[in-house]
Amino acid sequence: MSKAVFEPSIPSRPVYGALEPRTGISHLMIADAEGAEAILDMAGAAPPGFFANAHIIYIPKRTGTLYVERLQALAPAQLHIAPSYAAAEPRLKRVLSSSHMGLQLYLAGTEGLMGQVMREAIEAGIPHDAIQTEHRGSTARRVQCVHCKGITEDVTHDPFQCSHCGLHLFVRDHYSRRIAAFQGVRVDAEDPGNIPEAVERFK
């Protein structure tokens, strides 16, 4: 199992549940890496024919082909394997824009993926209660540099170096759903050059 236990945190930090099959006209599932396990687990509880109306968009990342055959075996109406979230985004937007009432959305995997899809879904008018989330796999964070506004994906260390402006940032728990990112703030702002050793906080 790759379920992470998150420490208690502040109210802006998202919390995640466990996917369960719901009744709906259609089912849209977006997952990355170990998020595939959440879909496979849910399949065990799903009624026959559930995946006949399912569209799965899956981004394997470092898991490669590990889960792909098992997802195919669910026989979803559509299974799209994408090399990155950025590559999947146009398809996702297209699907969300033509979705009807009764669509159920299932998100699984990293916080960065779920946060970004959530943002697109809300923008497309999908009601909150039609969206489920389940965290699986890496707890790496998507972090926005508050200074240059650039976003660094999959941050595992704290502090880390902003991939855009190069400042060394500490990672806050403060989270923006609109940006789908945590906030990063210069760690040595008051004492330039005094950068604490980076610790792997998010595996």
Among 147, 157, 164, 201, binds another protein (CB under 8 A): 147
7 near another protein, rule: CB under 8 A: no
Q: Which stretch binds another protein (CB under 8 A): 47-55, 80-88, 98-106, 139-147?
A: 139-147
Q: Helix, strand, or coil here: 148?
A: coil
Q: Which residues contact 46 (CB under 8 A, 6 or more apart)?
A: 21
183 near another protein, rule: CB under 8 A: yes
Q: Is 88 exposed, middle or buried (0-12, 13-18, 19+ CB in 10 A)?
A: buried
Residue 147 Cβ, how far from another protein at the closest point, in Å? 6
Per-residue DSSP letter, 2: -
Spatial CA neighbour of 28 closest among 135, 100, 82: 100
Q: How far is CA 39 from CA 7, 18, 93, 100, 197, in A?
A: 24, 10, 21, 22, 38
Q: Which stretch binds another protein (CB under 8 A): 56-64, 83-91, 109-117, 141-149?
A: 141-149
Q: Which stretch binds another protein (CB under 8 A): 21-29, 48-56, 135-143, 176-184?
A: 176-184
User: For 6, left (φ over 0), alpha (ψ -120 to 50), or beta?
Assistant: beta
Q: Which stretch binds another protein (CB under 8 A): 75-83, 105-113, 132-140, 167-175?
A: 167-175
Interface positions, 113-132, toward another protein (CB under 8 A): none
186 near another protein, rule: CB under 8 A: yes
80 near another protein, rule: CB under 8 A: no
Pair 23, 29: CB distance under 8 Å: no
In the complex, the residues that contact another protein under the rule CB under 8 A are: 10-13, 144, 146-147, 149, 167, 172-174, 176-179, 183, 185-186, 189-192
